[in-house]
Amino acid sequence: MVRLFAGGHASTPASLPQREPRHEPTAPPIRRGSMVPVPWLGFWGGLKSAWAARTARAAGDAPAGGAAPTAGPAPWERAAARRRRALLWLIGGSAVLAAVLMARTQPMVDHPVVRVAQVLLFTLLFAWVSAGFFTALMGFWVQLRGDRHALSLAVARHQPLGPEARTAVIMPICNEQVDTVFAGLRATYESVANTGASRLFDFYVLSDTSDPAVRAAERVAWSQLRDSLGDGARVFYRWRQRRTRRKAGNVADFCRRWGRNYRYMVVLDADSVMTGDCIVTLAKLMEANPRAGIIQTAPQACGLDTVHARAQQFAGRTTGRLFTTGMQYWQLGESHYWGHNAIIRIEPFMKHCALAPLAGTGGLSGDILSHDFVEAALMRRAGYHTWLVPELAGSYEQQPPNLLEELKRDRRWCQGNLQNARLIAEPGLHRVHRAMLATGAMAYASAPLWLASVLLGAGVWMWSGRSVAELPATVDVELAALWVATLTMLLLPRALGVLSLLLRGEHVGYGGRLALVKGAVLEAMLSTLLAPVRMVAHSLFVIVALTGLKLDWKSPPREAEAVRWREAASGFGAVAGAVLALVAVTLVVAPIAVLWLIPLALPLLLAIPLTVLNSRVGFGRGVRARGLLVTPEEVSTPAVLRRAWALLGDSEAARAQATQPVAQRSIPWGGELLVAH
């Protein structure tokens, strides 16, 4: 059941759900449409269906009436096919070469299964790393030379927006910081109004909030927003009493009730901020490209002052944009959808993108968590394209302020991405989107594979019987080449990101050439230190998702200014103890193997102090005072962000934020954070 409310408070006992008091409607009259999910066949069911279809084709059977004639591929589709074939050859060739070198440089061990396992693990992981490397390489190329097959922003300049291009800007929320939500929403609304096209845009706050006090505050904030904007303001509020299927269900409920009123919808997260120019440009791009089903921006995180958040924001602006542009190069019109800060064509979304739950029990069943990847795949199956436009400015989001909060988020993403792997064999999905579902799972499954590779490497050295004194003689040219190649593929994308900024003259926004380079070095050091911590945490998350085991991952509230020592010890103490025990046993049994464990063990032992220190705002401000990890929005803060911060009513915080960063997933308001997802 869905209730529509105006301003006012509700009193609901915690023990029994009661009806809310009646208020005047806060949303337009319902114009109901249909959005019916189709049950999934599942992995094995999809394989059976594919085999049956293949058998039917081989037998000469065809659907009644024959197949409908289809037009030939568009130029961008032919270009994408060539590029993807080249990518597969590059990855495959790199992996084969790495496998040969690894096999030739392995220590001799009387366990062939162990040797084969080590080579296979290393080959798979090297292929995974090389895929990222070649993506960054092509991102570097596109940033300097452009891509004539990408979706052109130039067409939007002269594209008119008629009355039929009505667009809903929807913000699904659930127990969020109310001031942050409505400050960001109002700043976005006013920015759209400043474009002169506000007549085409309606704004909706879609609440799934379960806390009665927060829900009452939402209604009061909505009422105050309407009063301040005037009688003509088209900002609506809807509370959903039955919170089925999480965020995807929230959006689907909107589509069923009001989707028929609009051609497009722009989806925001609870802490999103977007400029009016960005939103209007998205609508114009949709009008100019009638086969576009989804157009995704590349949100830039903003404003947090902890060292951890600053490093993520800086990386998102330097290396992250490189990878995003590289993904655009390989994917073109079959790209990612990230669930927010994007525009969607509503009619095909309603017809084809309803999500049924996954059958079964355990962590990989039930409601689909990472719905965005699946919705993009279903949109492509219906014949519509998903485009990524990383060069479109004015889209902002928020990064977690500390490592514990980041891992809390990653745990949800891990389960959702692994869950999506069950859909890889669904009939009709484009091979690119099947690959996306696989790589999404691999983004987390690679963590236990890396961990297994490190531990297996230590075991191989242990079984080889070599001593520390023999080590220099064992490092031959081929082994050195293998490790140099691996490190190059891991580190060169960061260098290319910096080089691209320097060549395009954008270093001024990062404090100058020297500050940009020093910031990149600092970010690389922090990332290297935290990589083993993330690897172990993600490995635990994968195990939990696959086995259904319970894992209580401690995390402080997002509003916390800093992680306390007790909180960090609760999160990482058990892991640090296990690492100490492993190192102690290895020193007794085979000291040589400790050399393999040092890169893994040392960061894990330092995880507690690193988490605490990197979560402190004072340290982050000290880093900024030295001109490090600065991003362009600190030099010139966008008006929409200044407005959002000012709306929080904290003039001191607003003045401070006028000189603060904006990069990939984050924004602070006073003591709180505004995220643009």
Q: If pLDDT is split at 50, 70 and 90, which confidence band does 314 have?
A: very high
Bridge partners for 669 per DSSP: 672
At 520-563, the pLDDT tens digits run 999 999 999 999 999 999 999 999 999 877 655 444 444 446 89
- pTM for this entry: 0.88
Q: If pLDDT is split at 50, 70 and 90, which confidence band does 70 have?
A: low
**Higher-confidence residue: 470 or 331?**
331
Mean pLDDT of 606-634: 93
Distance, CA of 656 to CA of 669 (rounded, Å): 10
pLDDT of 664: 32
Question: How many CB atoms are closer than 10 A to CB 145?
Answer: 8
In 3D, which of 90, 92, 95, 88 has the Cα closest to residue 120?
A: 95
Distance, CA of 35 to CA of 255 (rounded, Å): 8
What mean pLDDT value characterizes the chain?
Answer: 86
Find where tokens 């890396």 sit.
Answer: 450
Distance, CA of 673 to CA of 409 (rounded, Å): 15
Q: Is the pLDDT of residue 142 over 50?
A: yes
Between the ranges 545-554, 581-590, 622-631, where is the mean pLDDT highest?
622-631
CA angle, residues 631, 632, 637, in degrees to nearest 5: 115
Mean pLDDT of 56-74: 61
In 3D, which of 64, 65, 132 has the Cα closest to residue 94?
A: 132
- Strand order of the β-sheet with 167-173 is 2-3, 235-240, 201-207, 167-173, 264-267, 342-345, 292-297, 385-389
At 274-298, the pLDDT tens digits run 999 999 999 999 999 999 999 999 9
Residue 227 · residue 6 · CB < 8 Å: no
pLDDT of 58: 74
Map out the domains of the chain as residue ranges.
563-615
Q: If pLDDT is split at 50, 70 and 90, which confidence band does 495 have?
A: very high
- Is residue 27 helix, strand or coil? coil
Distance, CA of 94 to CA of 20 (rounded, Å): 62
**Number of alpha carbons in the 13 Å side-chain half-sphere of residue 170:** 32
Chain centroid, CA 507 distance in Å = 26
Tokens linked to 197 = 């096209």
Residues 6+ apart with CB under 8 A from 38: 354, 356
**Higher-confidence residue: 184 or 19?**
184
Most distant CA pair in the chain, distance? 82
Q: Is the pLDDT of residue 441 over 50?
A: yes
Chain centroid, CA 515 distance in Å = 27
> Percentage of residues in the chain with pLDDT exceeding 70?
86
Q: Which residues of 1-20 are buried (b: 16+ CB within 10 A; e: fewer)?
A: ebbbbebeebebeeeeeeeb
pLDDT of 662: 34
Bridge partners for 385 per DSSP: 292
Q: Is the pLDDT of residue 651 over 80?
A: no
